Each structure stands twice: as structure tokens, then as C-alpha cells.
Structure 1
Amino acid sequence: MNIPRLIDNYGREHHYLRISVTDRCNLRCVYCMPEEGMEFEPAEKILTFKEITEVVRVVAGMGIRKIRLTGGEPLVRKNLEQLVAMIAQIPEIEDISLTTNGMFLAAKASALKEAGLTRVNISMDSLQPDRFKLITRGGDVRKVLDSIDACVEAGLRPIKLNVVLMRGLNDDEIAEFIRLTRDRDIHIRFIEYMPIGHSDATWKNLYLPLSRVREVCAEQRWDYGPVATVQGNGPSENYRLDGALGSFGLIHPVSEHFCQSCNRLRLTADGYIKPCLAWTEQFHVRRVIGDDKAIRQMFLDALGTKPENHEMSHFLNDDLAITHTPTARRMSQIGG
């Protein structure tokens, strides 16, 4: 049988599926969820591990090779290592990664590695305990540090720390984060604050272009150069200080979008395909699970609506028109 590949209207072939396993989270990070929380989906609306695995099996035949498990916070989903093991048994899947806030990771790192998890990204927006608690609305930075050590011991590498930079909130820690890479094989990823589900004045006030990271390097008089590759580097533009073990990278979806090389699709916890993070288009694949042909066709239909770029930079300039309808879903509801 001639199974179609996942190629969109702009010639981009898709190898990467991000899967949200839950919309729930134990934290309320300021850029991801409102302080009062969200109205979470009831359990019966969330994809089962079996349903997720069925979708992955089908799209693996269409070219998907990389899977990232996200949330919400994926580790609030019980027995996540069982899902990792189920996906790891699909022959075409080469890489399974996890994005987590790190609160529960230390206790799970070894089991996840044994199940087939390849590597982790840990959200860590401040190194200062009080500020970390403020940004996450209740998080404990010491638990994240313990999780990093547990991942090193378990052999989950590379370890990447995701830092969402926000003006006046954590931008004074840029140099401190980069210094972490000198003596440890840790990879910092500075990420621009994205207007997902809320492009209001609050977002504009906190938004900071990542040109600021280069300015800090110049102020510190650091010598650094580009890194050719870091496993799973995706859209990150990576650098290493001279002599450092780790690296730091820039992910700038707003100021310098990377859409021309986008190779990812998203599956939400409630069973929708999202071809683009920023826009409202979504396709309810859960209702056709069990029919491989229908699943393949729905993924192709979703790709047919994927825009050339997400146009997030337009949110900085009210005079620029956008061509699609922005999503009303918050980041925690999509999976990032």
C-alpha cells in the first residue's frame, strides 16, 4: 500500500508530533495559565494511552519519527512510563522526549528512562527560589534542581532547561543561566514569550526579544560560537561559550519566526490535531480512531490548512493584519 507522507502545501515534511497527555497542571505559570486556573477537561474527554498509541502507530507509517510528551504537566498523568513504553515499541519511532516543570520528575526519571524515554526539557524560568515561586505561582526550584541531578544519574541526555524570558521579571538572570553551561552538560533554551491565548497589554509589557541575550554576552565580554547540532535541537539557534560543557540557545518565534523549517504537528489531550500552535484550526481525530485510513486523511486535511507562518510578530504591531484567527486556547490546553 502506498501510504502518503506528511508534506504540507509549502513542501515541509513533518517528522515530529507533540502530544499533550493532559491539560492539568500542578502549577499556574504566569505565561501559561491564569492565576485562578482553568476549567479542566473531564477524564472521559482525555485520550487514553491506547488511543494515543494508535494515533502514533498510524502516523509513524506516514513519516513521524519524533514524539514529545507535553501537558499541562505530563507527570500529573499517572503511570506515564506505561505510555512511553507503548510508544517505544513502535519500530519507526526513533526519539521520545518529555517537557515537564520538574516538580515530579526526580522520582520518575529512572522509570521513564527504562521505559524508553530519550531525553527531557525542564521548564525553569528563574534560579532564584522566591522569584521561581512567583513566576510559577507556587513552584519549588529545589525540586527542579533535584530533577536535573536525577536525570543525569538516569542517563537522560541531553538535559535542556527552557527559560521563557520576560521583561522586568527574569531578564536579569540571563548571564546566570548561561554560566550554568560552563561546568555542566546542560543546554539552556531561552524562549520568547508568545501571545498564545492572550495577546493583550500584559503580554506586550512582558515580551522581550532575544537580541537581549546577545547583548548580555557582549556586556560580559564572552567569546562564544555556534553549535552545529544538539540532539533534538528543533528551532533553537545554539551557541557555546568557549570551553563550556553545555550550550545556550535562542528560540525566537515572535521576532524571527522559524516557520520555514517547521516539521511539527500537535495532538491535544482531548484528541484534536493542531497544525499550527498560533491559530484556531483543529481537527477532532479521536472520533476516527480505529480507522487507520480516516486517521491518515485527517492528518492530511490538517496539513492542508497549515499556514506558511504563524504571524506572531503581527501582535507587536496593531497596524499589521493577520490572515488567520488566533487560538483562544491557552498554552496549557494545547501542549506548547
Structure 2
Amino acid sequence: MLQDSFNRKFSYLRLSVTEVCNFKCNYCLPDGYQCDSRPKTLNVEQLRILVAAFAKAGTEKIRLTGGEPTLRRDLPEIITMCRQTSGIHTVALTTNGYRLLDKLPRLVDSGLTNLNLSADSLNPHTFAQITGSNSLKEVLACVDKALTLGIKKVKLNAVLLKQYNGRELQQFLNYIKDKAVSFRFIELMQTGDNQAYFSEQHVRGETLKQQLLTSGWRVLPKEPNAGPAEEFYHPNYAGTIGLIMPYSKDFCASCNRLRVSADGKLHLCLFGEANDDLMPWIANQDIEGLKLHLSSSVLSKWQGHQLHNGNAGLTKQLAMLGG
């Protein structure tokens, strides 16, 4: 398994399949996706080489992200390819859920095991204010459809925003009272393009954590290949709560994931200062060579991000790498 110089092991790949997004979330792309030329993306065969190399290097879980991954018409083929790769046990998808309802059965048939949907508010008006879309009803319908189809893990993601959903905790809790899903609250992160917005909207996840603990919520042990969320359960609730708190102490100590952008660049950290072009090995279909290169590259992964110092590295906005 890939291992860095701090003895962290990496079994989880977040793979962006497009940087294009069809939402205008005010914390990410308030003006919508902007591009002067056709974005470069790896095709299915190129992705196969990439995934095979990661699998040989010990990767067991792949999360397909964007931008918005459902904009790829060949997403079912990408999911099938990932599930058919020896060593890959989990294929997850992070999506805004827009026009996903009819596509979901085919994605499950293709091998999708886990699903994360964005739901930054359960109030339709607030949801539309944040995302620029009136699709909350469809997103929530996708949750029920996913559970019916037998998807192993269904999660909803909400970015904590002081002036939008900062006072909606009870509404979120009511939703998971009888529904066996996880609601994950993500602490707003500063990027290259959102400094003013960050200052206005940032809410410390630690504040929400203390609210949960004083209300009888208890910490859940982390599962293998789990993401960065601290998970909480309550005996009176069917669902669980997750908190992703990048500004918390030792957040990076348990890092277990690497990221590859839609154009085939390895990012050792979401907020790193550099990327590594993997196309020479992909173009040559050199799976073994790429595996060795990954093993070498991960040794240069630094101990933690520099968000505390206001440094977001190369990340201008989260659509670049899907968070």
C-alpha cells in the first residue's frame, strides 16, 4: 500500500472525472463554471490505466467526483471499469443529484456502492440561494431511491454557512430521525477565490460538535478506508451525523486519500502547492511504471495543509478537485 514518510497509508483515491459543474454554489462557483477552452479529461481507457496502477499500489476505494461527475455520459462505463479492477472494493459517487433520479438504477447496476449527495439546506428557498438550483425535492427523492436500490452507504453533505444554514441544525436532525443515512457537515474552507466570503460565512465545526455531545450524541469508531469525518450516533436516531473539520487540531494526521484531477494530475493534498502530471505513464499504458512512480511521489506528501495560515495552495475553488 502507498505510504508516506509520516507512516500514513493511502487506500482511498478521490478521482475527478470532470471539472465542469452545472450548479452555481455561492461557496464554490458563484458565477458558474467558467472556461475559455474545452476542458481536458481522461477517457475511459486512460482512466483504466490510472485506476489499475492505483489498485496495484493498494488502493481499495475510489470516489468519483467533479465538478459534477454525472455530466459525463460515460459515467456508467467508468463505474463498471472501476468495479471490475482487481483490488477495488468500493466505488462511491459525490454528486449534486441534479437529474440523477432516472440515471441511478443504471449506475447501481454498473457497480456503484456508495452515494454522497449535496444538500446544503433542507429549506427549498435557502437551498436555491446557496446552489442556484431549485432541485432540492429531486435530491431528496434520490436519497429514497438509493436506499430502495440497496446502495450500501448514502450520505448527504452540507457546507456550514453562518448566514444560510447556520441555524438549521434541528431541521437536519429531524430528517435523519427515522432515515438511516448520514448527514455530514463540512466546515467552509478558504480557497484562492473566496476570501471575503469565507470571512463572512465560516462556522467552526467544533462548535457544532460540542452541541451534539451535550445533546446525547456519541462518537462512532472510524471504519477502514473511512473519510475525514468524525461520526456521531444517537440511540434515538436512525441516521448519523458526520463533521469534517479541516481547521481542527491534527486533522491531517489520519489522512488516507490522494486526489487526481480530471486531466490526470496527482494532487497529494487538496491544498497543496504542486501537482504531478501522470500522463506520460498513462499515454504509454505503463501500469507498473505508474505504480512505482506513485510510490515514489507519495513520499513527498507533507504533514499537513497550511489553511491556518490562509494558504490554499493551488486550489482556487473546490470544483477543481471535488473537495
**TM-score normalised per structure 1:** 0.90
How many angstroms does 1:328 deviate by? 4.2
- AA partner of residue 122 (structure 1): L
Cα deviation, 1:46-87, whole Å, max 9, x if unaligned, reads: 100111111111111111111000000100110311111111
- AA partner of residue 168 (structure 1): Q
Matches within 5 A, 1:94-173: 94-173=89-168
Q: Helix, strand or coil for the counterpart of 1:67?
A: strand
User: In the alignment, what sits opposite 2:2?
Assistant: 6
Cα deviation, 1:254-307, whole Å, max 9, x if unaligned, reads: 233521111111110011010000023101112321122431243234313311
- Asked whether 1:51 is paired with 2:46, we answer yes
Cα deviation, 1:152-177, whole Å, max 9, x if unaligned, reads: 11111321111110111211111211
- Asked whether 1:66 is paired with 2:61, we answer yes
- AA partner of residue 299 (structure 1): L
Matches within 5 A, 1:67-82: 67-82=62-77
User: In the alignment, what sits opposite 2:216?
Assistant: 223
Q: Helix, strand or coil for the counterpart of 1:86?
A: helix
Equivalent pair of 1:283/1:298 in contact (CA under 8 Å): no
Distance 1:81 1:330, change over 3 A: same
**CA distance, structure 2, for counterparts of residue 173 and residue 48 of structure 1:** 41
Matches within 5 A, 1:180-329: 180-198=175-193, 200-217=195-212, 222-229=215-222, 233-289=226-282, 290-315=285-310, 326-329=313-316
2:22 to 23, 26, 50: 26
How many angstroms does 1:118 deviate by? 0.6
**CA distance, structure 2, for counterparts of residue 65 and residue 215 of structure 1:** 33
**CA distance, structure 2, for counterparts of residue 15 and residue 133 of structure 1:** 36
**CA distance, structure 2, for counterparts of residue 19 and residue 61 of structure 1:** 16
**CA distance, structure 1, for counterparts of residue 32 and residue 118 of structure 2:** 21
1:84 to 79, 84, 97: 79
Between stretches 176-185 and 267-276, larger displacement belongs to 176-185
Q: Percent identity?
A: 32
Cα deviation, 1:155-212, whole Å, max 9, x if unaligned, reads: 1132111111011121111121122221110101111001133352221221110123
* Consecutive unaligned residues in structure 1, runs of 5 or more: 316-321
**TM-score normalised per structure 2:** 0.93
**CA distance, structure 2, for counterparts of residue 82 and residue 284 of structure 1:** 24
**CA distance, structure 2, for counterparts of residue 84 and residue 327 of structure 1:** 28
What is the count of residue pairs matched by the alignment?
321
User: In the alignment, what sits opposite 2:38?
Assistant: 42
Equivalent pair of 1:81/1:111 in contact (CA under 8 Å): yes
How many angstroms does 1:230 deviate by? 6.0
- AA partner of residue 38 (structure 1): Q
Distance 1:34 1:287, change over 3 A: farther
Q: Helix, strand or coil for the counterpart of 1:122?
A: strand
RMSD: 1.9
Equivalent pair of 1:81/1:112 in contact (CA under 8 Å): yes
**CA distance, structure 1, for counterparts of residue 143 and residue 308 of structure 2:** 33
Equivalent pair of 1:187/1:248 in contact (CA under 8 Å): yes
Equivalent pair of 1:255/1:313 in contact (CA under 8 Å): no
Equivalent pair of 2:53/2:291 in contact (CA under 8 Å): yes
- AA partner of residue 175 (structure 2): L
- AA partner of residue 24 (structure 1): V
Q: Helix, strand or coil for the counterpart of 2:10?
A: coil
